[in-house]
Amino acid sequence: MKMTGGEGQTIGIDLGTTYSCVGVWQDDHVEIITNDQGSRTTPSTVAFSDTERLIGEAAKNQEAMNPVNTVFDAKRLIGRRFTDALVQSDMKLWPFKVISGPADKPFIVVDYKGEEKQLAAEEISSMVLFKMRETAEAFLGSTVKNAVITVPAYFNDSQRQATKDAGAIAGLNVMRIINEPTAAAIAYGLNNRAATVGGKNVLIFDLGGGTFDVSLLSIKEGIFEVKATAGDTHLGGQDFDNRMVDHFVQEFKRKHRKDITGDPRALRRLRTASERVKRTLSSSVQANVGVDCLFEGIDFYTTITRARFDELNIDLFMNCLAPVESCLRDAKLDRSSVHDVVLVGGSTRIPKVQKILQDFFHGKELCKSINQDEAVAYGAAVQAAILDGNVYKVTLLDVTPLSLGVDADGEMSFVIPRNTPVPAKMKKGFTTKYDNQTSVRFAVYQGERPRAQDNNFLGEFDLCGVPPAPRHVPKLSACFDIDVNGILNVSAEESSTGKKNGVTITNVDGRLSAGEINKMIEEAEKYKAEDEKHKKRVDAKVALENYAYKIRNTVNDQKINYMIPEADKKKVQDAVVQVIYWLDRNQLAEVDEFNYKRKELERWKHHTRTTDIRDMYNHGSGIAKARNWRRELISWSGFCLSRKDCALGVRLYFRSVSKDCEPSLPMAGKGKGQTIGIDLGTTYSCVAVWHKDNVEIITNDMGNRITPSSVAFTDAERLFGEAAKNQEAMNPTNTIFDAKRLIGRRFSDASVQSDIKFWPFKVTPGPADKPMIMISYKGEEKQLAAEEISSMVLVKMRETAEAFLGTKVKNAVITVPAYFNDSQRQATKDAGAIAGLNVERIINEPTAAALAYGMQQKGTTVGAKNVLIFDLGGGTFDVSLLTIEEGIVEVKSTAGDTHLGGEDFDNRLVDYFIQEIKRKHKQDISGNTRALKRLRTACERVKRDLSSTVQTNLGIDCLFEGIDFYTTVTRARFEELNSDLFLKCLEPVKMCLSDAKMDKSSVHDVVLVGGSTRIPKVQKMLQDFFNGKELCKSINQDEAVAYGAAVQAAILDDTVDQIVLLDVTPLSLGVEVTGDIMRVLIPRNTKVPAKREAIFTTDLDNQSSVLIRVYEGERTRAQDNYLLGEFVSSTIPPALRGVPEIKECFELDANGILSVSAEVLLTGQKTKITITNDKGRLSKEVIEKMVKEAEKYKAEDEEHRKKVEAKLALENYAYKIRNTLMNEENNSKLPKAHEKKIQDAIVKAIYWLDRNQLAEADEFEDKMMELKSVCDAFMAKVH
């Protein structure tokens, strides 16, 4: 039966302590919904400022600047009392203020719009839930009212009720409260259906950011039966962060004689660094910490090892085993009866936690097959689908996590024991305590303690009208009825009279009253209205700002301003300057003020002489001049025309002659095992594989689905991905990114020279004008080609896939931008070879995205569809126009720019802020690589924020020479800085349509791919170009390319056969003929593979050989195109010019790799070459050398790993002995002299370790043997 309770589809929400996640059942599977920044998880953070409220990433990104008004950890307060010891402990670490409210309820104090507000944890949680609801509504395109919300299994009744209240305040009908580990078990069960056919006992180990749960379930034929549950509602990743913060606070105190505990801002920055370190230590054995200007101008730099992190948290890690043992005991199961131990929650990535758990289960392999961060939301979405009647094959039998009972003369009398299946109804008999007692009070508690008052008080009621009788004579019964949400009803009855009374437990003592909830709902509506009002005000401000800059740019444009009289031009410019000046000083003005200023400015447009401009645009004489102008600039000048129809006429006219107006663009051994698909991106890379009849995007060792394309070199090791990116601010000159912007290019390329100005690392010219990257590694300077850096990223992707598949990977499909030329494609193949990969296919990125789109749309459409893929990523831009019909994906045309993307937008912001720093502080930071790197990182964050908010703050403490840099930037300013780049994005779209001989109205879907397509201005321009057409955002912009590459890999593996891919060559291919003319044999957008032939002849009498030069590009002059290679066709018989016939054949394979042959028809003599573009490409010998270098790096990495493991083993052993010795029960077993000897040996070992961090493995092993010889006898006694 389908449940109802509101409108629309029911969603599943994992309301987490640190991050939240939302999922929904769609097209017979769960869809984890990405937020407005493209992330699948959203920080459970809310911030308040003088002007607005921020939720999620936007809140988290500004917390260092606004710590006292940025609220997180609401889940650690919800349903608790202010006097709870745990609340009191947490308050010492929070930068925001928490006070005691009515009924001992904790309230959070914030300053919002200049007014102090007191907010309950339920209100903060409701704001996060509202964000999740909006995220789901944006995806579904409809209003959402119903939700399933997850809570820790060990949440008590008060906390569950408070969570429901938070849902109500957020405008949600909470259909079901479900335990987090139970939700994760559902995710596991659906992902492992075949493996659970015969029945399985599964232990869910869920260690998240702030809570810890263990559940033991039996899964059989779709029935999920919870056997037992246990946990700790106050144990998780944040507690591990706290230990590190304390550790670093003490280290700072030791080193600098300063105590930072009273500075919330310094603590917040240190906590952020500690969180990053914790994540890094999950994949690396040591990590660097660097916080510039942490406190009173002091920089804090240090290193921490995984062993030290483990030692700081060892008691917390060991605490994780008690709930596991409790679960097994309650379920009456032995650990050997558990078939799978499933890891859930981000903190389960900590190696020590995994090792402790694995050791407990006698070395059992832990199950990591479900995404640790998304499993709970996944299960919640399934539960939601069950309630909606969309899923019938799953039955959930859950249990109550805590015992329920009443106070019987001070003792806890249990009525419903913990781990009783719910729903449940149980009765228990009671009697009177005194003679002639006529009423009995029933006080209801939840917990496991023998004394009633030590448990959690839920509520109470009186049963009156008991007939007078001696004590113990009356027979009373208490009935406990608990529903599927864990909500309790209690009633009592006197047997002789049938007198009854009861209560639905609402725990009024700690819970919000109905009146308070209604008030908070009204407050939520008020916040929403204020947010909307703020948005309108900012929109009005942005509109005025946009208009002012638009006029300024147009009037200043040299192609237009000469047509406007100087006097009129001066008036317009003065008006614009005045408005911009007013804007800078009236940021908080009201909507009508901004609108008035706009109308005031609009008056000045009539001072321009529109007649001359109109005549020039609308009559033949002006058209010739206009042909070489940017059509977009012409359209933008429409504001100068007196009538709207005239402006539209200009735009339509120039659209009709687009071909004339557009300037020509100068374009320069199979192994065994499964083939993987790799999106080798400029800024981020992604790997996927066909798995269980679907594409699986593989998470890396940090739990992320995309990995930074960064490699770092230190004195001790190489770092990849997140580990490299996390230390780049401290090591900018040796942290390499953007290798894709160098691969297959020449050092002298204009784009390379432009990029060098922004890179903190050094690039120099190598042989054959090849760019070489300079790094310092282990104290030695090295020169690396871009192919080597890319190969290291590919190795990381390969290892990520191998960890998931559990097998070696040799074969890969790698994606490249559609507009990569032959040299860049060959170089990418070389990178794959260096990485030990057999590159089965090079596939164009937009084509891969089209495969993803085609797979996800399969079965939903009938007939052919024309689809335009608009792929704007971090460093490259591609457009492809395809027809998809019945599994055939046919590329019609492709265009793009291999040097346009998000990083170019970042560069504009960096330049803008450099100039602002110059103006404000009279300092030039452009020569300081470290300051530039920190500024760039902040600019990346600003760019992302401006995709979801119209203005954002930027704050960097101690950016340069002690200067703190704080500023605000609006979306309008960002768009103005990048307007020319955004406009450039339309040129390839027009070219694609033109080449495909297709009108824009024939395009059925415009599909967005690449992170930069989240920029609102890019979307608006594209939507306007397609006459308001709704853009398709149904595929994940960050993952679509890897998804499609995995589909192509599956096609090559013969795993998928329903799809046929017909791709095209992006650039024309031809030869140089007499007069430096390019004779095209294979025109651009020809389907590949392709073969074309042409007959050529000699241009001299008795010419015996011909030099054949092969070019790629669209220019008429051969030398203006890209030279791919050359060869000589000789042994031509002597004859007059024009007589000999030479047949030249071009053959292009599926990878876009070209082979050219020439045959002298008279003699049959053939000459053949596979174009390798030796000018820019690595030679076979160099590739082989780099493969050996890669093996050497791997061996060095292995040697470093062994050395660090030996060091960690010694460090772990020393601290283990020290901690054991500190236990009084243990040291009492030793004579004092022996104890002293051991203590001295430990101190000596730790002292030696601190001063010999870079010792060799055998030295650490010798020290270990030395220490063990002293301590092993003691350890034997203890154990």
Query: Can you give the pLDDT at residue 1031?
Result: 93
- Give per-residue pLDDT as tens, 285-324: 888 888 888 888 888 989 888 889 999 999 999 999 999 9
What CA–CA distance (Å, rounded) separates 13 from 166? 12
pLDDT digits (tens, 9 = 90+) for 1029-1088: 999 888 889 999 999 999 999 988 888 876 777 778 878 889 888 777 888 888 888 888
Q: Where are the beta strands (DSSP E) in 130-208?
A: 146-151, 173-179, 200-207
Summarize pLDDT for 553-582 with one digit per residue, the tens: 777 766 556 666 777 777 777 787 887 778
Q: What is the pLDDT of residue 955?
A: 86
1173-1187 residue pLDDT tens? 444 445 566 666 656
Report the share of the chain in percent with pLDDT over 90. 37
Nearest to 695 by CA among 842, 828, 848, 843: 848
Q: Is the pLDDT of residue 1 over 50?
A: no
804 by Cβ neighbours in 10 Å (0-12 / 13-18 / 19+) ranks as buried
Has residue 588 got a pLDDT over 90? no
Per-residue pLDDT of 982-1025, as tens digits, reads: 999 999 999 999 999 999 999 999 999 999 999 999 999 999 99
- DSSP strand pairing (1122-1129 vs 1106-1112): antiparallel
* Choices 2.60.34.10, 2.140.10.10, 1.10.10.10, 2.60.40.2470: CATH for 1065-1178: 2.60.34.10
| Helix, strand, or coil (residue 495) | coil
Which residue bears the tokens 């493209």?
38
Domain edges within the chain: 11-235+320-397, 238-317, 400-512, 533-661, 675-898, 901-984, 1065-1178, 1182-1278
Mean predicted confidence (pLDDT) in 374-386: 93
| pLDDT band for position 1231 (cuts 50, 70, 90) | confident
Q: Give residue 815's pLDDT band: very low, low, confident or very high (50, 70, 90).
A: very high
- Which CATH fold would you assign to the domain 901-984? Actin; Chain A, domain 4 (3.90.640)
- On the question of pLDDT at 146 being above 70, the answer is yes
588/115: higher pLDDT: 115
Q: So what CATH class is 533-661? A: mainly alpha
Decide if pLDDT at 486 tops 80: no
List, as one string, the DSSP characters of 827-840: HHHHHHHHTT-EEE
User: Residue 526 in contact with residue 53, Cβ under 8 Å?
Assistant: no
3-state helix, strand, coil in the chain (%, to 5): 40, 25, 30
What is the average per-residue pLDDT within 1243-1253? 81
Per CATH, the number for 11-235+320-397 is 3.30.420.40
Over residues 893-903, the pLDDT tens digits come to 888 888 899 99
- Predicted confidence (pLDDT) at residue 624 exceeds the cutoff of 70: no
Residues 699-727 have a mean pLDDT of 89
pLDDT of residue 658: 36
Q: What residues act catalytically?
A: 14, 75, 180, 206
For domain 675-898, give the CATH number: 3.30.420.40
Question: Averaging pLDDT over each range in 631-640, 1167-1176, 1250-1259, which range is the top one?
Answer: 1250-1259
Predicted pLDDT of residue 1272:
76
At residue 632 the predicted structure's pLDDT band, cuts being 50, 70 and 90, is very low
* 1110: β partners: 1071, 1125
Average pLDDT of 1242-1267? 82
Write out the two tokens for 678: 């790799």
Looking only at the bridges linking them, the beta strands covering 1090-1096 and 1142-1148 are antiparallel
Q: State the SS3 of 318-375.
A: HHCHHHHHHHHHHCCCCHHHCCEEEEECHHHHCHHHHHHHHHHCCCCCCECCCCCCCH
Same fold, 238-317 and 901-984: yes
Q: How far apart, in whole angstroms, are the C-alpha atoms of residue 407 and residue 343? A: 38
Q: How confident is the model at residue 626 (pLDDT cuts 50, 70, 90)?
A: very low
Mention every residue, 6+ apart, whose C-beta is less than 8 A from residue 759: 738
- Kindly tell me if the per-residue pLDDT of 1129 is higher than 90: no
pLDDT for position 74: 94
Model confidence band, residue 1121 (pLDDT cutoffs 50, 70, 90): confident
User: Is 594 or 626 the better-scoring residue by pLDDT?
Assistant: 594
Task: Name the burial class of residue 318, with classes exposed (0-12), middle (13-18) and buried (19+) by CB atoms within 10 angstroms of its CB.
Answer: exposed
Instruction: Tell me the β-bridge partners of 462.
Output: 441
Q: Does domain 1182-1278 have CATH number 1.20.1270.10?
A: yes
Euclidean distance between CA atoms 1105 and 32, whole angstroms: 64
Query: Residue 436 gets which letter from DSSP?
Result: T
- Res 616: pLDDT: 43
E-strand stretches of 671-825: 675-679, 684-691, 694-697, 707-708, 711-713, 718-720, 735-736, 762-765, 771-777, 780-785, 811-816
pLDDT at 390 exceeding the cut of 60:
yes
Give residue 1278's pLDDT: 57
Lowest mean pLDDT among 361-370, 475-484, 1225-1234: 1225-1234
Given a cut of 50, whether residue 372 has pLDDT beyond it is yes
* pLDDT surpasses 80 at 56: yes
Given a contact cutoff of 8 angstroms between Cβ atoms, the answer to whether 703 and 373 are in contact is yes
Residue of higher predicted confidence among 834 and 1192? 834
Q: Which CATH architecture has domain 238-317?
A: Alpha-Beta Complex (3.90)
Q: In this predicted structure, which of 596-605, 803-812, 1223-1232 has the lowest mean pLDDT?
A: 1223-1232
Give whichever of 601-605, 629-633, 771-775, 1208-1212 has the largest mean pLDDT: 771-775
Can you tell me the mean pLDDT for 332-343?
93
pLDDT band at 1228 (very low <50, low <70, confident <90, very high): low
CATH number of the domain located at residue range(s) 400-512 in this protein = 2.60.34.10
What is the arithmetic mean of pLDDT over 361-374? 90
Lowest-confidence region among 359-363, 950-954, 1113-1117, 1265-1269:
1113-1117
With a cut of 60, say whether residue 629 has pLDDT above it.
no
How do residues 435-452 score in pLDDT, each as one tens digit? 898 889 898 888 888 888
pLDDT of residue 1214: 82
pLDDT value at position 562? 62
Per-chain mean pLDDT for the chain: 83
Whether residue 1202 is predicted with pLDDT greater than 50 in this model: the reply is yes
pLDDT in tens, 639-697: 333 333 433 343 343 334 333 333 332 222 445 689 999 999 999 999 999 988 889 99
Confidence of residue 149 (pLDDT cuts 50, 70, 90): very high
Residue 16 tokens read as 């987490």
**Tally of CB atoms within 10 A around 716:** 16
- What pLDDT sits at residue 984? 93
Amino acid (1-letter code) at residue 579: V
Confidence band of 615 (pLDDT split at 50, 70, 90): very low
The answer to whether the CB of 342 falls within 8 A of the CB of 204 is yes
The pLDDT score that the predictor gives to residue 236 is 92
Mean pLDDT of 847-856: 88
* The predicted structure's pLDDT at residue 557: 64
pLDDT at position 1186, please?
59
